[in-house]
Structure 1
Amino acid sequence: MNSIPDLVGAVWRKSSYSDGGADNCVEIADGFPGAVPVRDSKNPEGPVLLFPAAAWSGFVGGLKDGRLG
């Protein structure tokens, strides 16, 4: 059974492609093997989505090569 990682102390970062606005993007936290925590930058105390690392990698790859977006 997979467990939910403890996100206390997680270091969140915005994409380098962010538009520079204060709260207009998602943030991810690194350092969680096999998982990518994602949250809404407008609501940092709100819920976190947890994606399998392989699924997140496929999503980002699709955005980069134009298959998505």
Structure 2
Amino acid sequence: MARFVLEPKSVLMNEQEKKYKDSETAIAALQASREYLEKQKAEVENNLTELLQQDPGLTQQIMSMTVM
């Protein structure tokens, strides 16, 4: 027999509610992580842009490199 037939409805509802709350917590943590990583990415991009603007020779060196 299937488990849902053997368990009381209240037990199943509590389990589903816990899974729902755990999922909400995980989503919030992932969103915070995403925001942090997006800020870090923007900062790195800005730093790289600034570096390349300060040293045009570096830009030429990077452009002449081959990717393997």
Q: Same fold (TM over 0.5)?
A: no
Greater share of strand:
1
TM value normalised by structure 2: 0.27
Of structures 1 and 2, the one scoring higher in RCO (CA 8 A, sep 6+) is: 1
Greater share of helix:
2
TM value normalised by structure 1: 0.27
Larger radius of gyration, structure 1 or 2? 2
